[in-house]
Amino acid sequence: MGKKTLKIYDITVPFSENLPVWPGDPRPKVARFMNMDQGDAANVTGLEMCVHTGTHVDAPVHFVKNGSGVDQLDLNICVGLCEVVDLPDVMEITRRDVDGLDLPEGCSRLLFKTRNSQAWVNPAHTFIEDFVAFSPDGAQAIVDRGIKLVGVDYLSVQKFSDLEPTTHQILLGAGVVALEGIDLREIDAGSYMLHCLPMKIVGSDGAPARVILSRDE
């Protein structure tokens, strides 16, 4: 049998000014305010963005009054074994979908691959309103199954058409880390090691994150 090698998958969406943003959020700006091509001694880049742009993590305070900020998230939740499940045909993720999953015993990190991931073929696409996300009962099923981190392949765990932030409140109120905006196009369903490291922004309701999966192959 050949020697196994560690395969690393970067599931972070490439960050640029052209990324889709939630309607009403400011567009990201990336610009060099020092430029060697213009005679400066160094290249130095400035960044202006909403913390919920691209691949990012939500903290409880995003929808829970007096909730904790992203700097207080437990990295033991953000790093460890996870399961990727593939639901290519669903329009929303309901309790029936979550309850029907055959997960390993003790699974606490769960990433959902849906039709959303195909949007990241073009990271500069126009915001998609009918993306796949959780219904409130689907979110409650995540909590009931003891999941501590849930990841989705578009910009929110909550449907764009929802009138109330119930899904967010259920997940964040239970201390579930919401990982949003991941690209799972090249990822097969199965078990991986997850490394999700959000920027440590004091008191913030969210933060951009570099996220990878790895496993022996």
Q: Which residues are catalytic?
A: 62
Q: Check if the beta carbon of residue 15 is closer than 8 Å to that of residue 208.
A: yes
How far apart are the C-alpha atoms of 120 and 14, rounded to whole Å? 9
Residue 182 pairs with which residues in a beta bridge?
A: 12
Q: Check if the beta carbon of residue 60 is closer than 8 Å to that of residue 178.
A: no
**Best CA proximity match to 152, nearest among 164, 163, 167, 137:** 167
Strands (E), the chain: 6-10, 29-34, 44-48, 56-58, 79-86, 109-113, 149-152, 177-180, 190-198, 206-216
> Which 3 state secondary structure label does DSSP give 214?
strand
